[in-house]
DNA sequence: CTGAAAGCGCTAACAC
DNA sequence: GTGTTAGCGCTTTCAG
């Protein structure tokens, strides 16, 4: 059993004042209404007895747990750890702790974990795993829970969100590929029930139109998950369809890695036969060969931004001028997986 | 503001019984002392009013928060996410939430975060970032907090720990290298204030002695951190010293990756000129070329094991027969970064 | 300026 | 079986 800790009552007894006086003396904002000598005496006793406020009791009384929930698809996906560090870097110094949960992109799990977090009375929520239509999180927000979504957004809601400039990223990548002479460009699209997947596909179509590039609908294949296996599957499908292409613009890095593997299996070299590009510039990507041309997103900063917005949300209530949308800039990274279109294609 | 939730009192009012009756009816172990009809009525009301127990109040009353702390050096190190998922897989279904904190291997931070966790009244602690001598965690354990350490252990204490079979791993790796003909084998040792670094160096020395291999003290270089930069620095030092070697056994994968880079910079190919081995088989390692020969440790299972021990610790008190030491098996993975010693060495 | 008292939501003796 | 009561440690009216 835990050794019992000193409470306000203990200090009150030691100093001969009432607990409420102790409480006030220890609260920076209430302190001013107490005689300095009394404050000093109380602080000394608190120090001596190694007093540590009981956050549980505080939470019960004030309905603030100083805890936030962080919902992500899967911590083993390496783009999330930097985001979490970013969140922690702003919340932890302010006394907040975060409870991180993994949804594995399963709606059922997401709903259940959201309940768990609400049961624990989190003061706010950073949600990086919402679906485009996500009633449970919308309801939570409506019930007054402070929530901000990260990387994704829930449509038709006024939940603030922090996303990357997907449009710009896709657009610059497409321009990069066309500069290299590519015209028949395939797209491995991400899951369309996630806003990232949907936005990047839309961005691809728009950019192509703007640049007057014909996109063969046959060259757009949609992955069911953002992982290597799906990248591989989609690439096989692409090859089996018999349509010509000289480049594959993938909706994220992991799809691209799977793609390159399958191309290699089929005797196609990247980039000399086919160019492949990714998105995210995830950690450890630099280990891969060829080094992947991709779009860097700001992972750590996304965490910082989302946490900052959540803070404003939690402290201000609903009527403040919190920005609904925050778009973080992205950066094109030209590396080795893209190159000039082969003289004789395929 | 949060919409107010229904409480036991609300249910009591709705059903015309006393709150304590409601409390009992909703508690599986107390339920049997209540008339079935009353239980049914109460459960129906609870359902209808969407009752969710307030864990804060529960925690204040029972002194159990159903929360555990997890202390790790840095979540961006990819060996930790699988461990966390392992922990979560046993704790979460039982209603526990975990608060994860990163120490960045800084003692000051570790001490402060430990205090934060204790202030929050965690029921137990899984600590994967202890130092070999770690008074703060020893004190916490002595004060009655349930704690188990992971990957590392604190010496001269009776804190249960879960580690990998470092001895076996190093030994098998050394045998593997000698089979390939290597005799002049360097060791990039990990930080000696971490038990992993220290154990692996000791294992290296012991194994060499057992196999009657002379180890030149000059060929042992100690890294200050377990990362690529330190692997690179140590390798430069090794090369600069002018001592001959045909293989480098590294205390972890990241040191090995840094090592291979520097060898390449110096015109030395791995494995044809020099063999290099790692330890851990961390996620995404398979992206690296040459594919690294390494020792696989059980990351997910380590999390499961530590969490299971913590559970027993929390539920049993100090007098149960909890194993002090759990050693998880490891597995040698022969891949491409090690090969037969070159005919003409270096 | 400080004390008294109430109460956050829940559990756990103790009555009856 | 169920109600009564007390209280976990804290904040926050309300008096004085």
Residue B244 to chain A, least CA–CA distance (Å): 28
Lowest mean per-residue pLDDT among A214-218, A342-346, B9-13: A342-346
Mutate to test the interface with A, among B56, B101, B285 (most CBs of A within 10 A): B56
pLDDT given at position B133: 81
Answer yes or no: is pLDDT of A172 > 70.
yes
Residues of A numbered 111-140 whose beta carbons fall under 8 angstroms of chain B's beta carbons: which are they? 115-116, 118-121
Nearest to A162 by CA among A190, A205, A115, A128: A128
pLDDT band at A280 (very low <50, low <70, confident <90, very high): very high
Say what percent of chain B tops pLDDT 90.
84
- Average pLDDT, rounded, for chain A: 93
How far: B1 CA to D13 C1' (Å)?
A: 21
Q: What is the mean pLDDT of residues A120-144?
A: 91
Q: What was the pLDDT predicted at A131?
A: 81
Torsions phi, psi of A139, nearest 5?
-65, -45
Q: Say whether A97 and B120 touch across the interface (CB within 8 A).
A: yes
pLDDT digits (tens, 9 = 90+) for B145-190: 999 999 888 888 889 999 999 999 999 999 999 999 999 999 999 9
Query: Would you call the peptide bond into A97 cis, given omega within 30 degrees of 0 as the criterion?
Result: no
- Asked whether the predicted pLDDT for residue A344 surpasses 60, the reply is no
Question: Which fold is adopted by the domain A8-53?
Answer: 434 Repressor (Amino-terminal Domain) (1.10.260)
Cβ-Cβ contacts under 8 Å, B98 against chain A:
99-100
Chain B residue numbers with beta carbons less than 8 Å from the beta carbon of A319 are none
- B71 vs A142, residue with greater confidence: B71
Q: Hey, what CATH topology would domain B67-162+299-327 get?
A: Rossmann fold (3.40.50)
Q: Chain A: residue nearest B261 by CA?
A: A287
Per-residue pLDDT tens over the stretch B230-274: 999 999 999 999 999 999 999 999 999 999 999 999 999 999 999
DSSP notation for A240-287: HTT---SEEEESSHHHHHHHHHHHHHTT--TTTT-EEE-SB--TTGGG
Q: Does B318 touch chain A (CB under 8 A)?
A: no
To the question of pTM greater than 0.85 for the whole model, the response is yes
Length B26 CA → C7 C1' (Å): 23
Let me know: does A337 contact A260? Beta carbons within 8 Å.
yes
Average pLDDT on B300-319 reads 89
DSSP annotation of A291 reads P
Look at the alpha carbons of B152, B155, B161, B165 in this order and tell me if their dihedral is positive or negative.
positive
Which ranges in chain A belong to alpha helices (H)?
8-15, 19-26, 36-48, 55-62, 80-91, 107-119, 135-142, 166-179, 195-210, 228-240, 253-265, 299-316
Residues 6+ apart with CB under 8 A from B296: B280, B281, B330, B331, B332, B333
Residue B88 with chain A: CB contacts under 8 Å? 101-102
**In A143-244, which residue ranges form alpha helices assigned H by DSSP?**
166-179, 195-210, 228-240
Nucleotides of strand C under 7 angstroms from a protein beta carbon:
1-13
Question: Does residue B195 have a pLDDT over 90?
Answer: no
Cis peptide bond N-terminal to B271, omega within 30: yes
Of A167, A106, A159, whose CA–CA distance to A330 is shortest?
A167
In angstroms, the CA of A36 and the C1' of C2 are apart by 13
- The model's pLDDT over B19-31, given as tens digits with 9 standing for 90+, comes to 999 999 999 988 8
3-state secondary structure chain B: CCCCCCCHHHHHHHHCCCHHHHHHHHCCCCHHHCCHHHHHHHHHHHHHCCCCCCHHHHHHHHCCCCEEEEEECCCCCCCHHHHHHHHHHHHHHHCCEEEEEECCCCHHHHHHHHHHHHHCCCCEEEECCCCCCCHHHHHHHHCCCEEEEECCCCCCCCCCEEEECHHHHHHHHHHHHHHCCCCCEEEEECCCCCHHHHHHHHHHHHHHHHCCCCCCHHHEEECCCCCHHHHHHHHHHHHHCCCCCCEEEECCHHHHHHHHHHHHHCCCCCCCCCEEECCECCCCHHHCCCCCEEEECCHHHHHHHHHHHHHHHHHHCCCCCCCCEEEECCEEECCCCCCCCCCCCC
Structural domain boundaries of chain A? 8-53, 67-162+299-327, 166-297+332-345
Position A125 scores a pLDDT of 97
Indicate whether A79 pLDDT > 90.
Answer: yes
What is the spatial distance between Cα B323 and Cα B310, in angstroms, rounded to a whole number? 11
Which A positions 269-288 lie with beta carbon below 8 A of chain B?
283-285, 287-288
Of A279, A325, A280, A319, nearest in space to A306 by CA: A325
Band of pLDDT at residue B345, cut at 50, 70 and 90: very low
Q: What separation in angstroms does the CA of B85 have from each of A342, B75, B150?
A: 45, 12, 14
pLDDT at B33: 86
CA atoms within 13 A on the CB side of A44: 8
In B, residues 235-274, which contact A (CB 8 Å cutoff)? Answer: 257
Give the model confidence (pLDDT) of A290-330 as tens digits: 999 999 999 999 999 999 999 999 987 556 789 999 999 99
B4 versus B318: which is more confidently predicted?
A: B4
pLDDT score recorded for residue A345: 46
Q: Which CATH superfamily is domain A166-297+332-345 in?
A: Response regulator (3.40.50.2300)
pLDDT of A5 above 90: no
Name the packing angle between helices B228-240 and B253-265 (round to 10°): 50
| Nucleotides, chain D, CB distance < 7 Å | 1-13
Check if A8-53 and A67-162+299-327 are the same fold. no
Per-residue pLDDT at A156: 85
**Percentage of residues of chain B with pLDDT beyond 70:** 97
């Amino acid at each position: 059993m835990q050794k019992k800790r000193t409470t306000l009552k203990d200090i009150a007894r030691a100093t001969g004042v009432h607990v409420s006086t102790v409480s006030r003396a220890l609260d920076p904002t209430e302190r001013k209404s107490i005689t300095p000598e009394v404050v000093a005496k109380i602080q000394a006793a608190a120090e001596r007895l190694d007093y540590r406020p009981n956050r549980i009791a505080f939470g019960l009384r004030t309905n603030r747990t100083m805890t936030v929930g962080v919902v992500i698809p899967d911590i083993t996906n390496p783009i999330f750890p930097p985001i979490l560090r970013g969140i922690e870097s702003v919340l932890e110094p302010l006394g907040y702790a975060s409870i991180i949960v993994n949804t594995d992109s399963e709606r059922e799990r997401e709903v259940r974990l959201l309940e768990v977090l609400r049961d624990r009375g989190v003061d706010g929520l950073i949600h990086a795993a919402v679906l485009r239509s996500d009633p449970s999180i919308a309801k939570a927000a409506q019930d007054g829970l402070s929530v901000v979504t990260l990387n994704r957004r829930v449509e038709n809601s006024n939940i603030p969100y922090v996303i990357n400039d997907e449009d710009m990223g896709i657009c610059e990548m497409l321009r990069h590929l066309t500069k290299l002479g590519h015209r028949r460009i395939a797209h491995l699209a991400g899951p369309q029930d996630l806003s990232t997947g949907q936005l990047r596909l839309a961005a691809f179509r728009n950019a192509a139109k703007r640049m007057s590039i014909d996109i063969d609908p046959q060259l757009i294949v949609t992955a069911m998950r953002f992982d290597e296996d799906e990248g591989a599957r989609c690439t096989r499908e692409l090859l089996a369809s018999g349509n010509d292409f000289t480049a594959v613009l993938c909706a994220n890095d992991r799809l691209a890695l799977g793609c390159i593997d399958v191309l290699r299996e089929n005797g196609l070299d990247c980039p000399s036969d086919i160019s492949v590009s990714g998105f995210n510039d995830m950690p450890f990507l630099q280990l891969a060969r060829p080094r992947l041309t991709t779009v860097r997103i700001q992972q750590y900063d996304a965490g910082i931004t989302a946490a900052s917005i959540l803070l404003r949300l939690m402290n201000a209530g609903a009527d403040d001028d919190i920005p609904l949308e925050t778009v973080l800039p992205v950066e094109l990274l030209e590396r080795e997986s893209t190159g000039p279109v082969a003289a004789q294609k395929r």
